[in-house]
Amino acid sequence: MEWQKIKGVIVSTITAFTAEGELDEKALRENYVYYLNRGAHGLGVLGTTSEDHLLRQDERRRIVEIARSEAKGRAFVVAGSGMIGTRETVEMTKIVEDAGADVALILAPFYQRPTEEGVIKHFKTVSDAVDIPMMVYNMPPITSNVTPQMLERLCKEARNVKALKDSSRDLHELSDTIRLVGDKMSVCTGEDDLFMPSLLLGARGGYLAGANIAIDIELGIYNAIREGNLEEARKLHFKLVTLTEAYSGLGFQTNLKEAVRMLGSPAGEGDRSPLLPRASDERRDALKKALKQAGLL
């Protein structure tokens, strides 16, 4: 897949579980079809929103297969494959590649946080071992920070590094990244409330959790910026900020699933510990209020 095609609204999808705690494949398919019908450019699976590190290896493969079967050329599929170790990341990346992903989302080294040279070596080793385009997932402070200068090196030294999901929440660093490598890789934000300003700086899209509940708003912002309609983009941006504040925080996946249910879409009846199956009453009230303010409920 050419890096220029990695753009637009990529939905960072939730993973639905049955009451018994198993994958709810029916719910997964229903949600994927909904996002596609609304116009999503990409389906993002096995990321933070998807509770990827609470999934077994066979479940990860199955989720990618389901996403691929529903996308059917209508959208590209990005699948998370970043693990703590380089060897394990290579193995997982080969699995998602074989299952049909178009792009592998690879979290920068975490927990065992190496030096800059260790980070570069990690991505180069994975790149040399696979053929799938790679999206670097930069999420400090839980990962080693992949700086703009490091990304510039990776564009030269790692043939399959083609994109970035930036969750640094640092617009200065994002701006520097776009300046240095925006003509060599697809720079995307991973932050809903920074989607509009990131696009204005030159980002090509967003890998967005909020698109589970506000895909029309996200697509509206993307299209308004492309059309030069800044006033419309600003109006939609402020709606999105209110929603983001309502579901963000610890256990945000649970909060997001509550909002999905409120909108009538399936989010599963079960959970994967340590995440809880239901949000607090206080959080539910905040979600309902935000959804109403955004005109979604």
> 45-76, pLDDT tens digit by residue?
999 999 999 999 999 999 999 999 999 989 99
Q: Can you count the helices (H) and strands (E) in the chain?
A: 11, 8
Residue 250 has pLDDT above 90, yes or no: no
44-77 burial, b for 16+ CB within 10 Å, e for fewer?
bbbbbbbbbebbeeebbbbbbbbbbebbeeebbb
Residue pointed to by tokens 């992903």: 101
Question: What's the residue count for the chain?
Answer: 297
Classified as helix, coil or strand, 139 is coil
pLDDT grade, residue 262 (50/70/90)?
Answer: very high
What three-state secondary structure class fits 143?
Answer: strand
Q: Rounded distance, CA 92 to CA 155, Å?
A: 22
Q: What is the mean pLDDT of residues 219-230?
A: 98
Q: Where are the alpha helices (DSSP H) in the chain?
A: 25-38, 57-71, 86-99, 116-129, 148-157, 171-181, 195-201, 211-227, 230-247, 252-262, 281-293
The whole-number pLDDT of residue 63 equals 98
Cα torsion angle, 37, 43, 46, 51, sign:
negative
Entry pTM: 0.97
201 vs 194: CA distance, rounded Å: 11
* Cα-to-chain-centroid distance, residue 267: 17
pLDDT surpasses 90 at 234: yes
> Mean pLDDT across the stretch 17-31?
96
Tokens of 206: 């967003």
Residue range 149-200, pLDDT digits in tens: 999 999 999 999 999 999 999 999 999 999 999 999 999 999 999 999 999 9
Mean of the pLDDT values across residues 11-31? 96
Q: Report the alpha-carbon distance of residue 262 to residue 249 in Å, rounded.
A: 19
Query: Which residue is catalytic, options 7, 162, 165, 257?
Result: 165
- Domain extents in the chain: 3-229
Q: Is the pLDDT of residue 112 over 90?
A: no
Closest residue by Cα to residue 220 from 202, 203, 237, 205: 237
Residue 262 makes CB contacts below 8 A (sequence gap 6+) with 287, 288, 291, 297
* 134's tokens: 């790679």
At 171, is the secondary structure helix, strand, or coil? helix
pLDDT at 212: 98
Q: Is the pLDDT of residue 95 over 90?
A: yes
User: How does the average pLDDT of the chain come out, rounded?
Assistant: 96
Residue 277: per-residue pLDDT: 80
pLDDT value at residue 190? 98
- Active-site residue identified among 32, 35, 124, 137: 137
C-alpha–C-alpha distance, residues 146 and 138, integer Å: 6
235 is catalytic: no
Contact 263, 291 (CB under 8 A): yes
Q: For residue 276, name the pLDDT band (cuts at 50, 70, 90).
A: confident
CATH superfamily of 3-229: Aldolase class I (3.20.20.70)
Q: Is 124 a catalytic residue?
A: no
Please state whether beta strands 8-12 and 205-208 pair in parallel, antiparallel, or not at all (unpaired): parallel
